[in-house]
Structure 1
């Protein structure tokens, strides 16, 4: 594969797309939005579409997309010394004014330094000159804890990118027009609410290597407040392509944020308060999906919680269109929704009780009961959906062997009930280790030891193996413990990730951690004191001081925290 083959490949991808956006490749400010994974994965990310549309709507800007090449293609880029290029015009990464990474998953951190290197952009921000692009990052990972990749970026958007990306680009554009130096532009960016400039916040460590806080540059805010706003515009697929994970789908974001207060869920705290889109906006999105002949993919934290979900489903079905839902709550599921899924060809209903015991569900504030699971099975049976999938976490705080036994019991009872009401299909348990995340009441907790998790997984699998109607799916816990380090890591991980990018990626992580004198077990298993300064403490999600600590104590007491409601002031976000 030569350089022309690589160009032809990108041109073919672009030719096969149907886009609502017409770009101006000659616009004054050139922005590359970079997804640190393949085109096939990245084009299913709705955030990329939303930001791509906003940037290209500005007359002074052009936004193009760059993705991680497939393995063989990446080898060809290296062999032919070709820079990573955009899909739209095959412009190389280093020729853009701004390079914007969409950071959604921890395991993609390894691809950020790899892509910068192949894009001929200095990996470390401190090595960049006035002639290099300004590198920014946004997305969920940049919101809850960007420290592991902070050395690679010049600025991060904390919170939601809509609106603020336009302001950020204007500061860069104006700064260059005025002849400001790079460090002056970055200082000006730090003055925007919702923008974090890591180089202006130097992390401090004591003699034991424990993080103790930041040395903050003069004139810079002591904390960075997250950015968020109302959902007044459509959030949906902008560039449709068949060559993606959800290629047959036109994604429509129904709502954002969740007010259910599940204590393990970062999104429930970082994207609070829950907001919904107007039904007419969603109907217009359905119409656009119809015009493209696509299935509608409804996106949101809990689709069945949308107040007008039945009306939306009726509208989709009135057009003889198919749809699917990103997530459903067993306690808000309706027959209308399930019937529509069945008519759309869906064979499995997916619910997330998270654990098997009522006690542990009280600890995590997951208001789902076995009765709710049985109701879901009944609705499924009436609609003709035969299979059910349950998402389960193990290693949750306060978990005991009795809670593990409860997973087995719940699975057996649920499968028996499915058979009783006429669901002759399979019950699938999809089980993953719990990973404590920043900005949740469990952020101070250590992960359950990997050997313990392996023991629990094997017990569940062995206990259920005789029932042919129950399937147990277990992903390797090894990756979860890498994610655990990255989720709550500090600035020292930048050098480790950069070294991994020169070697075997995530497969080199343990060895490179050891070479850097860092202990994975220390990152994952150590419990933090409530008074301890955490690497993400520089960021402000709008929560009241001590609110997360109070929720931790409520979890220990198995106390219920009711969902968000109008007029509520308890967490501090709705001040």
Structure 2
């Protein structure tokens, strides 16, 4: 491929799109929104589209999208020395005033240095000149622990980006108009609630190189309180295309946050409190999906928990549309939801018990029983849905060999119940190693040793291999343990990410660790004291200081924590939203 062919490939993408807000590339201020994976993956990300809409609705700003090219295109960019270009106008990344990068998955970290370098933007923030683009990170990974990426970014949005992105743009535009120096501009950004400027905070390391806290510059917040967006408007697909991993689907965000208190789930703590969109707003989104003839994708932490879910799915079906759900809970599943999925052509119901034993589900506060699983299977059978998928984690805190046996027993019992109620398809177990995440009650816990997890995964597969109606799919432990390092790592890991990105991506990460004398084992397996500083302590999710500690102790007692409810002041979030 040559430069012209790269441009033509981007132009071809826009010809297949329906853009609800339009994109006026003649507006004075140019913002690049980057998703550090391919167009096929990135166009399924609703957060990117929500921010795209907000910026393009401004009279003074245009947002254009930039994605990781295919391998063939990457080679062409490098060979022809063409700077990475945007989809809308094929503008070079280095020519944008602001670059916003959505960071959703740890394994995408390795793409970020390549994208910046390919766009002829200095990879390290400290090397950027006065009028180089301001690079801002956002998304889930930026919210729970941006430190492993801190070297690459001028600022991060902590929490939800609606509203705060416009506040940041106003500061940047005003500073550029008035010739404000870059460092002063960054200090101004740090005054915005929900914006973290890593260069203004210096990591401190103690004995044996253990992280010992951050030293904030004078005049900047000691802690950055995450932003919290009221759901006052629809959150839905803005640029519709068939070329995404979700296919020809129109995504509608039903709710945000989750109040179920699953102790392993970062989203349940970082995006608390749970909020739902009014039914009338969701109906308007469904109407727009109908105009395009698109299948509706309902997005949220637990779709079946939406208070008016039956009314919503009946409305979708009244429009003659199909739909699918991002997530379902076995204990709130309804016949209307399941029947609607069946009528939409869905062949599989997916449920996440996470663990096989009810004891371990109490530890993680999952709140699902085996009776709930059987009820969900019965509903699926009644609707004519043949297949069941269960999400399972291995390596959870307090897990024993008996808990692995309980997964085998649970799978066999669920498959037997499928046969009994006339659900004659396949039972699939999708199994992932557990990764402790910041801002959860398990944030201090070491990951279970990789050798132990590998043996338990083998035990699980061996225990179920004789039943041909049960399929076991296992995520690569190697990738999971790299994610584990990046999820809780400090700023030193930026160097390892940059080193790997310069060579063979994630495949070079172990080599990078050896070259830079960074120990994955120390990061993964070290028990962390509840009192010691953590890299993410500079951020504040609004939780009461001792709340996560209390929840960790409750997990060891297998104590149940009830879901969020109106008037509750248990965790400290309500009343502190910014």
Band the TM-score falls in, shorter-chain normalisation: over 0.9
Which residue is equivalent to 1:24?
24
Q: Distance in 2 between matches of 1:469 and 1:247?
A: 28
Q: Deviations over 1:491-520 (max 9, x none)?
A: 001111111111000000011011111100
Which residue is equivalent to 1:284?
284
Which residue is equivalent to 1:542?
542
Q: Distance in 2 between matches of 1:530 and 1:23?
A: 49
Q: Distance in 1 between matches of 2:176 and 2:95?
A: 15
Which residue is equivalent to 2:132?
132
Q: Distance in 2 between matches of 1:270 and 1:456?
A: 31
Secondary structure, counterpart of 1:100 in structure 2: strand
Q: Distance in 1 between matches of 2:192 and 2:475?
A: 41
Which residue is equivalent to 2:215?
215
Q: Distance in 1 between matches of 2:416 and 2:244?
A: 37
Secondary structure, counterpart of 2:536 in structure 1: coil
1:392 aligns with 2:388: no
Q: Distance in 2 between matches of 1:227 and 1:88?
A: 29
Which residue is equivalent to 2:263?
263
Q: Deviations over 1:235-266 (max 9, x none)?
A: 00000011111121000000000000000000
Verify the 8 A CA contact 2:32 2:64 in the aligned structure 1.
yes
Give the unaligned 5+ runs of structure 1. none
Query: Equivalences for 1:418-497 in 2 at 5 Å?
Result: 418-497=418-497
Q: Distance in 2 between matches of 1:177 and 1:474?
A: 53
Which residue is equivalent to 1:100?
100
Q: Deviations over 1:341-395 (max 9, x none)?
A: 0000000100000000010000000000010000001101110001100000000
1:299 aligns with 2:290: no
Secondary structure, counterpart of 1:208 in structure 2: helix
Which residue is equivalent to 1:12?
12
Verify the 8 A CA contact 2:446 2:525 in the aligned structure 1.
yes
Secondary structure, counterpart of 1:54 in structure 2: helix
Q: Deviations over 1:419-441 (max 9, x none)?
A: 00111111110000000000000
Q: Distance in 1 between matches of 2:13 and 2:229?
A: 33
Which residue is equivalent to 2:173?
173
Which residue is equivalent to 2:499?
499
Which residue is equivalent to 1:153?
153
Secondary structure, counterpart of 2:50 in structure 1: helix
Q: Distance in 1 between matches of 2:22 and 2:300?
A: 28
> Structure 1 residue 115: deviation in Å?
0.3
Q: Deviations over 1:497-547 (max 9, x none)?
A: 111111000000011011111100111111100001000000000000110
Which residue is equivalent to 1:87?
87
Report the TM-score, using the length of structure 1 for normalisation: 1.00
1:362 aligns with 2:362: yes
> Structure 1 residue 229: deviation in Å?
2.2
Which residue is equivalent to 1:192?
192
1:337 aligns with 2:324: no
Verify the 8 A CA contact 2:131 2:182 in the aligned structure 1.
no
Verify the 8 A CA contact 2:389 2:427 in the aligned structure 1.
yes
Which residue is equivalent to 1:377?
377
> Structure 1 residue 138: deviation in Å?
0.3
Q: Deviations over 1:118-167 (max 9, x none)?
A: 00000000000012100000000010000000110000000000011000
Q: What is the number of residues matched between the two proteins? A: 575
> Structure 1 residue 21: deviation in Å?
1.6
Q: Deviations over 1:421-469 (max 9, x none)?
A: 1111111100000000000000000000110011000101011100111
- Regions of 4+ moved over 6 Å: none
> Structure 1 residue 479: deviation in Å?
0.1
Which residue is equivalent to 1:245?
245
Verify the 8 A CA contact 2:236 2:252 in the aligned structure 1.
yes
Q: Distance in 2 between matches of 1:424 and 1:23?
A: 49
> Structure 1 residue 178: deviation in Å?
1.4
Which residue is equivalent to 1:72?
72
Secondary structure, counterpart of 2:567 in structure 1: coil
Secondary structure, counterpart of 2:537 in structure 1: coil
1:569 aligns with 2:575: no
Q: Distance in 2 between matches of 1:230 and 1:567?
A: 17
Secondary structure, counterpart of 1:189 in structure 2: helix
Q: Distance in 1 between matches of 2:230 and 2:20?
A: 23
Verify the 8 A CA contact 2:33 2:52 in the aligned structure 1.
yes
Secondary structure, counterpart of 1:268 in structure 2: helix
> Structure 1 residue 26: deviation in Å?
2.0
RMSD of Structure 2 on Structure 1 (CA): 0.6
Q: Distance in 2 between matches of 1:96 and 1:320?
A: 43
Which residue is equivalent to 2:559?
559
Q: Deviations over 1:272-330 (max 9, x none)?
A: 00000010000000010011110000000000000000000000111111000000000
Give the unaligned 5+ runs of structure 2. none
Q: Distance in 1 between matches of 2:479 and 2:319?
A: 43
Secondary structure, counterpart of 1:537 in structure 2: helix
Report the TM-score, using the length of structure 2 for normalisation: 0.99
> Structure 1 residue 23: deviation in Å?
1.8
Secondary structure, counterpart of 1:380 in structure 2: helix
